[in-house]
Amino acid sequence: MAVRVPLWHHYLQAIRSRAVARAQDFQRAEDVLLTVLERVSALDPRFLVDYSRDLGAFQFALRSSDEPLDMEVPLQVEAGALLIEEPGDAERGAGPGCCRLGVPRGGPGLEPWVTEDVFTASSEGSSACLGHIVPGKVLRVLRDLLVAAIVHCKHQGLVPPGSLTGDSLKEEELGLSLLVSSGWRTIRFAVVPVVWRQHGAPALEGAQRPPGLPDGSLRRIAGRGVVLVPASAQLWRVSTDDLLTRLLHALGSLQGHRLDSLSILDRVNHESWRDGGRSPGLSFGHLKTVLLWASALFPAPEDWAELQGAVYRLLVVLLCCLATGHLPHFLWPERSLLRGAGLDLRALYQRVERFASQPEAALCLHASHLGRRPPPRIANGVRALLQLPASDPAYWATAYFDVLLDKFQVFHIQDKDRIAAMQSIFRKTRTLAGEDR
């Protein structure tokens, strides 16, 4: 008799079955873009080529969605040689980690960065600072270089015919968007100029190691330094996406289904919640942050040993964030990644709750997978319960989320202390939520 494979594993196998072809498509597209960037560097040595693209391939392998992939273009200058200046009073609302990059007077080797195409002289007559490297100007120079490099590479036959065109190069607010064709797949890259800061990661300085991350991972990541990317036409900022991707990569060294659960939800998000990418909705960055929080809230290995349970760890965190309208940034929790995203959170919440209650319909990939649909996991909505962290941040804790797992019938933890903590929170929330067990 054939062994019946659970629906969750069928879905994961379908994602994995495409992994090799996706990796090959990514490699071909990346090779095309690197060839173009080599020409950019030959035209203007201030722009370098970064060949250490392991994290880009790692992220692409996890995703089903078609969001742009970052391609960093390092500038030939180290932030340590520049003056890191806080934004002025008129720019205080720019967000955490933002700064100006000043060119010091008499700084050795900085002559290429005081030319008019990338530099604005200081109007304050500072004795220490000549002026600033302006990200908006840097982007315009990089755009013109990319156009010239694409034309050269096509005329010289350095890239496959039809793989890219200058017409697909679009100037976005904080980067350059470029479509690269690779076989049957077209991949959109976000080409972003970056400045390396080798000493210290301001976003991680003094941070404690969150539970659920491998020992020493935060220290190693902080020790590597950070990259600064455009935050506006005038300001740079620490690229937290780069830091979070490194933390995500560190999670991959742990046993369990952490990354598998992320891949499954990204596929469900793309195919179901976003109607195949046709509707606005959650990004891969949103889901990546949800996984990092879930890993911190559920640090025990047994939380991630079973695939369905691992997915529900992400789902209860995501549902709570959608119900409260607040998905905290993993490094700056006071900052919400949902604020200003322009999403219909009520409609999105309903889709995610519907999936969490009856996931089988979204997981069926073939008629043979159809069968008798199990009843909903919850008899009525849990939205009131999910909104409790908005009124009391103390609920943002493992015991509270264990209550949510129990609501969805996936709390199978044997630890007596943890069960007692969950039951204590349940008794506390029962009256507040107005629900019976």
For the cut 90, the answer to whether the pLDDT of residue 134 exceeds it is yes
Contact 389, 395 (CB under 8 A): yes
What span, in angstroms and rounded, lies between the C-alpha atoms of 101 and 81?
Answer: 10
Q: What is the pLDDT of residue 437?
A: 43
List residues bridging with 190 in a β-sheet.
70, 177
Tell me how far the alpha carbon of residue 171 is from its chain's centroid.
21
- What is the pLDDT confidence band of residue 384, given thresholds at 50, 70 and 90? confident
Q: Which residues is 336 bridged to in the sheet?
A: 328
Let me know the angle formed at the C-alpha of 399 by 416 and 273, rounded to the nearest 5 degrees. Answer: 125
75 burial via Cβ count (<10 Å: 0-12, 13-18, 19+)? buried
pTM, two decimals, is: 0.89
Give the model's pLDDT for residue 207. Answer: 52
- Greatest mean pLDDT among 194-198, 226-230, 308-312 lies in 308-312
Nearest CA to 16 out of 61, 54, 59, 57 is that of 61
Average pLDDT over residues 376-400: 82
How would you label 220-233 residue by residue, b for 16+ Cβ within 10 Å and e otherwise?
ebbeeebbbbbbbe
pLDDT at position 367 is 44
CB atoms within 10 A of CB 169: 16
Q: At what angle do helices 240-251 and 258-268 cross, to 10 degrees?
A: 120
Looking at residue 311, its amino acid is V
Q: If residue 432 lies in a helix (H) or strand (E), which one and from where to where? A: helix 416-433
Mean pLDDT of all residues in 398-421: 92
Q: Which residue has the higher pLDDT, 369 or 404?
A: 404
pLDDT of residue 94: 63
Helix (H, G, I), strand (E, B) or coil at 192: strand
In the chain, the percentage of residues whose pLDDT exceeds 90 is: 50
pLDDT value of position 47: 97
Give yes or no for residue 417 having a pLDDT over 90: yes
CA 399, chain centre distance (Å): 27
217-275 pLDDT per residue, tens: 777 777 777 889 999 999 998 888 888 888 899 999 999 999 999 999 999 999 999 98
Q: Are 193 and 230 in contact (CB under 8 A)?
A: yes
In this prediction, residue 339 carries a pLDDT of 87
Q: What is the enclosing helix (H) or strand (E) of 294?
A: helix 284-297
Write out the two tokens for 193: 């100029």
Determine which of 222-226, 260-264, 324-328, 338-342 has the lowest per-residue pLDDT on average. Answer: 222-226
